A and B are shown apart, each in its own frame.
Chain A
Amino acid sequence: MSPSIQVIVEIGCSLFAAIALIYIFLPGRDADTGVTKTRLSYLYERKEVVYDNLRDLNFEFKSGKFTQADYEGMRSNMESEAARLLAEIEQLEAAKA
């Protein structure tokens, strides 16, 4: 490598390092700290999943995959699970209020 190219490379590397350090250590003041996930937000997520499971079940029943007895048993189980979730959500929301 010729000396002049070597100097250009050295200057380029130094410049890159300087810009990088400025970028890293002078971040904007709007750094997003996020929120700590709570039991309540988890229960909301879980509730959506149970509702989706119910939709799945209903659709599969309509498509003829299950007998009436199977469907009713599974639906009853899922509705109980959803009811438990809703009860806990209600309880936590009441406590928060």
Chain B
Amino acid sequence: MPLLGSFCLLFALALAGYSFIAGIFGVARKDSAGFRLAETARRAGIVTFIAVTGAALALVWAALNNDFSLAYILEHTNRALPTPYKLAALWSGQEGSLLFWSWLLAGYGLVLRLRHKIDPRLFATTSTVLAGIQVFFLVLVTFVANPFGIMGSLPPDGNGLNPLLQYPEMVIHPPMLYLGYVGFSLPFSFALAALIMRYPGEKWIHITRRWTMVTWLFLTCGIALGAHWAYSVLGWGGYWGWDPVENASLLPWLSGTAFLHSVMMQEKRGMMKVWNVWLVFITFMLTILGTMLTRGGAVQSVHAFAQSAIGTWFYWFLGIIFVVCLTAYIKNRDHLKSENKLESLVSRESSFLFNNLVLLAACFAVLCGTLFPILSEAVRGYRITVGAPFFNKVMVPIGLFLIFLTGIGPLLAWRNTSLGSIKRNFMVPAALAFGLGVLLIFVGLKPWTDLPYFYAWLGFLLSGLVVTTIASEFIRGGLVLKTKLNTNLAAAMVHLTRRNMRRYGGYIVHVGVVLVIIGLCGAAFNQEKEQEMALGDKLQIGHYTLVGQEYTQDDNANYSSEAAILDVYKDGKPLVRLTPEKREFKASNQGTTMVANHSTLAEDLYVIYEGKNPDTGHPIIKAFVNPLVIWIWIGVLVVAFGTGIALVPNAAAVKAPVASAIAVVAMDNAMQPAGAGK
């Protein structure tokens, strides 16, 4: 297998190199010989995928067959490791994960190259840019971080997988995150290609829109799975610790989200072309930065690998990308001239602009906080870490302002909105949101007592505003169609959504985001308690009483474990039996926590077994009551559902006849739902 893997990698590198160079010459020549050359480049790109797949399969095969002659397999697996985790070995170490990056990139490239007939010239240039990125990653896995390095002797067993990664979600989380990271290579390649070839119009944006949405969805799911893993495995009672590697995944998500919004301004009004191109460039550079932080060991994190020379390669790659983007921009900036100007500060355009500025401000704040330890080390010689308090202080107000914009944006008109229209659209949502705020105070939330309470109260209030504005959009549109189609309101709203999946799918995504915000607001009311618990001892937290019933031990080939069996009572009534556990993995001599969590729509009872007190021999139990956490996970599911809706083409698309007179179009289509022609 090492022989096959190494051959596949070298061959893939040669093919990607050819695809890149032949692609450059092919697209530079405008004659038929140039197109033939570009066609060979395209085909070389397709075969690159097969070659990289061969290398990835060789590594997986080696993992499944305990081939400890490979240093990578020795380091990241062992004989007793369950099969799914052996598969996960492909992305659990630095070398394997870079191979995985290359494979996903080749996979995205394959889809792109198979769909080249949509616009052969644009796709040929895009494919060339993609091949350039592919070359970089294949150089890394072939010469710098080769997963097929061979051991001098053949050890009887491997060192095992990091225990923190031996959790079902860890089999899905990294691929999701990587699909998101790698996927942003495509919008980047399209944007750079369109800029280099001075592609007229916004068609490249239409083509990349779905790629970007799919990529964004993968990244969203990846981040959410990571948060859920942290909540379930790390055992500190939270889901987001502003860890540098967590932040690294958030950065491209923030800029990608900004792009998904601002791109609408370019499509609709031909505005913000420079902004959009640079947003895509920055998003891609942030994915490379994220990969560097995760795989290069530049920052210290629960996820990051040890310091290695690979970081220098990424710095150079980032530098080259920046120079290429800047050169392409300077050379072609006149091509990005805006067709319209911002007419009013109270308009849909300005709400998108503010949304973008806020998202980028958030991105900048997270970037500064994440890179501060590196910068401080470079300047002062020692690392100063920026912790959660900094991020919370900066990001919470930014997030709340973003939710406010999410609430008002859909109600504003393109170009300009008068005071009359504002009154007409905002009276009901604002009154309902205000009513919700008063109701929350009435039921006992006192926002004036503490800043986190105030933020939570504001978060709930603004969430109410967003939900009511979205509901009003569905209801207003539904009422128009209800009359026209002579049907009920629910059917009319379904019809409305089917006629403009992107817009109404987007609204569903916003509802999902609101649910996530509601879940995050719950953190203001968290409670925690730690206590030694002998048999029969009680721990009281919130409405819950935990009673120690039994303490057990277990042993299998992979790990030994200790667990506490606790009976839980709520307000004196028996509720559930929880079994928090602590595992000690044999191959790696590392321990991990298995959290016991009783989750309801109102709150989570989250219990950890922390081991025994060496002095008394009594088990230590730590319990948390975390309100509303489940809404975060529900919200992410809603976001995924909404994105799925937005990806589906519109039903019964109606195109206006080309020869129609403007006035006729305006009048005849008066009853068409918004976006029916898309």
Interface residues of A (CB under 8 A from B): 1, 6, 9-10, 12-13, 16-17, 20, 23-25, 27, 31-39, 41-42, 44-49, 51-60, 62-67, 69-70, 73-75, 77, 79, 82-83, 86
Contact = CB atoms under 8 A, between A and B. Distances in A.
A44 B658 contact: yes
Contacts of B425: 65
B666 A79 contact: yes
B671 A48 contact: no
A63 B476 contact: yes
Interface stretch (B199-207, B517-525, B527-535, B639-647): B199-207
Nearest to A65: B425
B418 A1 contact: no
Contact of A24 (B43, B480, B656, B663): B43
Nearest to B663: A79
Interface stretch (B32-40, B359-367, B437-445, B614-622): B32-40
Contact of A79 (B4, B51, B202, B662): B662
Contacts of B411: 65
Contacts of B119: 34, 37
A42 to B, nearest CB: 4
15 contacts: A1-B1, A13-B4, A16-B11, A20-B15, A27-B43, A37-B119, A37-B199, A46-B201, A51-B660, A59-B477, A65-B411, A65-B425, A66-B417, A66-B421, A82-B665
B261 interface: no
A72 B4 CA distance: 69
Contacts of A73: 416
A59 B480 CA distance: 8
Contacts, number: 168
Nearest to A61: B670
User: For chain A, what secondary structure do more than half of its interface residues adopt (helix, strand, loop), or is it mixed?
Assistant: helix
Contact of B670 (A17, A20, A62): A62
Query: Interface range on chain B: under 10, 10 to 19, 20 to 34, or 35 or more?
Result: 35 or more
A30 B201 CA distance: 28
B577 interface: no
Interface string B93-134: 000000000000000000000001101111010000000000
Contact of A23 (B47, B200, B669, B677): B47
Given A36-B121, A70-B416, A24 B674 contact: no
Contact of B3 (A6, A34, A64): A6
Contact of A33 (B35, B270, B417, B479): B35
Given A65-B411, A65-B476, A54 B665 contact: yes
Interface in B624-678: 655-656, 658, 660, 662-663, 665-666, 669-678
Nearest to A58: B670
A24 B676 CA distance: 42
B120 A67 contact: no
A57 B538 CA distance: 64
Nearest to A37: B200
A19 to B, nearest CB: 9
B169 interface: no
Contact of B413 (A23, A55, A64, A65): A65
Contact of A53 (B122, B268, B421): B268
Contacts of B421: 65-67, 70
Contact of B47 (A20, A45, A52, A59): A20
Contact of A75 (B40, B47, B120, B666): B666
A42 B201 contact: yes
B416 A74 contact: yes
Contact of B674 (A32, A45, A59): A59
B3 A74 contact: no
Interface in B275-294: none
Contacts of A47: 658
Given A60-B413, A63-B479, A24 B677 contact: no
Interface in B1-34: 1-4, 7-8, 11, 15, 18, 32
B4 A66 contact: no
Contacts of B403: none
A57 B424 CA distance: 16
A32 B117 contact: yes
A47 B202 CA distance: 12
A71 B550 CA distance: 72
Contact of A52 (B7, B413, B677): B677
B414 interface: yes
A34 B120 contact: yes
A33 B200 CA distance: 18
B413 A74 contact: yes
Interface in B31-71: 32, 35-36, 39-40, 43-44, 47, 50-51, 54
Contacts of A10: 3
B562 to A, nearest CB: 43
Contact of A55 (B51, B117, B663, B669): B669
Contact of B270 (A17, A46, A74): A46
B267 interface: yes
Given A24-B43, A62-B480, A70-B420, A9 B415 contact: no
B480 A65 contact: no
A32 B113 CA distance: 13
